């Protein structure tokens, strides 16, 4: 009888790992502490619940590394991608989903799989025997974090993820705001109008920044430090870095024309992205925050079009833990101190839903192959998967290791391709063409992969 694989954590990474291993014929026990043990950010007991944005970001598999990762996961029969495609919402070239039906669908598919059983309890130790994948994500329980620290001999690094607020669509003043995706991007009219845009004059922008800087912020608990990941900075932290920082980030006004006043270019623009299939909820793009709730409503209602906004959810903040993976994990994502254990997902030091699910996909396949006695060649670094796993298991500098999104900077250079901004389009297409060929070849060589 085939040994079971235990997977701890039912988020993006754990769900994907379970699916991949189960499809390879491995009996999987998926351990999820929710809903018995709650977290700050989760609302349900569903697997793969989306607690921050509802977007998997760009779906462009020719010019974007995230879109390439989508392609690779689809090619590998990825659960997260195939489910996301079924619950897709218009998002102007991005892959956004209706979050609650998406999580319910992932949960139903895993529970219906003959090789998967779900056990609802908290795991607080690192077992010395058996086959395990720990994919506990950014909200690893304190007890388990202590156990990991005890085994690895090192403290987990920490930073804070801030959650963006969600606004009821019918409370947005569309006499001031308008529907448009940046640069009118998208194949359909629905895609080209996937965002609500709120324009600001220079005076409005300056007043907004003043209020943002003066607003009451959440206090940190004793022993916590504010080491933020640059890809998910709270807006008030960005504002503290310079008054123009937001205007060159989430509030940039480029690629947009205000139909209410087409001759006047907005000084800044706040974008809201559709958050559910019904179109009744919109999240404020890039507006992660640690402001206190009362301050949030006051500050966000300064945005033109949101003066009377009603909030389905205000922003929040939570601690995120991750391993110093270049020091602790081998190239097969196994814990060097205890090789019967693999880690996957955000706890390994990747950032984002897509990257977390991708590392779950790899961990599930690698664990299944090991249990079945198959040898698996290294994932080519020329692929998005390979670039990420190489980064976290040795490609990054351990002393300065920080969470990383997938990006073309992690890929080996291309020969004979022009550098710089002018050569970027051809270079990115070269990266993705090479990656697709190499990833498909790697998949074709896996005995354990099933359709």
**Residues at the annotated binding site for FAD?**
9-14
- Tell me the three state secondary structure of residue 301: coil
Whether omega for the bond prior to residue 14 falls within 30 degrees of 0, making it cis, is no
Answer yes or no: are the C-beta atoms of 340 and 357 closer than 8 Å: no
Distance CA(427)–CA(424), nearest Å, equals: 5
Distance CA(101)–CA(329), nearest Å, equals: 35
Cα angle for residues 54, 57, 59 (degrees, 5° grid): 125
Residue 151 Cα distances to 39, 148, 158, angstroms? 24, 5, 18
- In 226-369 the beta strands, taken as DSSP E runs, fall at 268-274, 281-284, 311-313, 316-322, 334-335, 338-343
3-state helix, strand, coil in the chain (%, to 5): 35, 15, 45
Q: Which two tokens stand for residue 77?
A: 């029969």
Distance CA(9)–CA(136), nearest Å, equals: 5
Answer yes or no: are the C-beta atoms of 137 and 33 closer than 8 Å: no
The angle, 0 to 180 degrees and rounded to 10, between the axes of the packed helices 353-372 and 65-75 is: 40
Answer yes or no: are the C-beta atoms of 209 and 270 closer than 8 Å: no
The angle, 0 to 180 degrees and rounded to 10, between the axes of the packed helices 79-86 and 99-112 is: 130
Q: Which two tokens stand for residue 433?
A: 């063409």
CB count, 10 Å around CB of 327? 15
Q: Which residues are annotated as a binding site?
A: 9-14
H or E, element range at 438 = helix 424-444
């Amino acid at each position: 009888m085939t040994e079971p694989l235990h997977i701890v954590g039912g988020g993006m990474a754990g769900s994907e790992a379970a699916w991949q291993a189960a499809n390879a014929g491995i009996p999987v026990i998926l351990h999820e502490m929710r809903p018995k043990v709650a977290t700050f950010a989760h609302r349900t007991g569903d697997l793969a619940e989306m607690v921050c944005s509802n977007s998997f970001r760009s779906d462009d598999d020719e010019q974007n590394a995230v879109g390439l990762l989508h392609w690779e996961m689809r090619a590998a029969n990825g659960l997260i991608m195939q489910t996301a495609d079924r619950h897709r919402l218009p998002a102007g070239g991005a892959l956004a989903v209706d979050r609650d039906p998406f999580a319910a669908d992932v949960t139903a598919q895993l529970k219906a799989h003959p090789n998967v059983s779900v056990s609802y309890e908290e795991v607080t130790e690192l077992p010395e025997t058996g086959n395990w994948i720990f994919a506990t994500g950014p909200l690893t329980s304190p007890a388990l974090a202590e156990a990991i620290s005890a085994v690895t001999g090192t403290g987990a690094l920490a930073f804070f993820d801030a959650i963006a607020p969600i606004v009821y669509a019918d409370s947005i003043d569309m006499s001031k705001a308008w529907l448009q995706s940046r640069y009118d991007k998208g194949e359909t009219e629905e895609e080209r109008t996937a965002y609500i845009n709120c324009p600001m004059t220079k005076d409005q922008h300056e007043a907004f920044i003043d209020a943002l800087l003066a607003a009451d912020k959440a206090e940190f608990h004793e022993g916590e430090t504010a080491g933020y990941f640059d890809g998910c900075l709270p807006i008030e932290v960005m504002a503290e870095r310079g008054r123009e920082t937001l205007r060159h980030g989430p509030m940039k006004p480029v690629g947009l024309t205000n139909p209410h006043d087409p001759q006047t270019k907005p000084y800044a623009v706040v974008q809201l992205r559709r958050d559910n299939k019904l179109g009744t909820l919109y999240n404020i793009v890039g507006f992660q925050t640690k402001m206190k709730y009362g301050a949030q409503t006051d500050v966000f209602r300064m945005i033109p079009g949101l003066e009377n906004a009603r909030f389905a959810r205000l922003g929040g903040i939570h601690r995120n833990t991750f391993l110093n993976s270049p020091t602790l994990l081998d190239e097969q994502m196994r814990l060097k101190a205890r090789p019967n254990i693999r880690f996957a997902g955000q706890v390994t030091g990747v950032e984002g839903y897509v990257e977390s699910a991708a590392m779950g996909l790899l961990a599930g396949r690698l664990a299944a192959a090991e249990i079945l006695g198959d040898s698996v060649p290294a994932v080519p670094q020329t692929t998005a998967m390979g670039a990420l796993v190489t980064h976290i298991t040795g490609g990054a500098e351990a002393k300065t290791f920080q969470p990383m999104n997938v990006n073309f900077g992690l890929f080996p250079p291309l020969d004979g391709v022009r550098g710089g901004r002018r050569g970027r389009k051809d270079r990115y297409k070269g990266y993705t063409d090479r990656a697709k060929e190499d990833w498909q070849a790697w998949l074709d060589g896996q005995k354990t992969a099933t359709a």
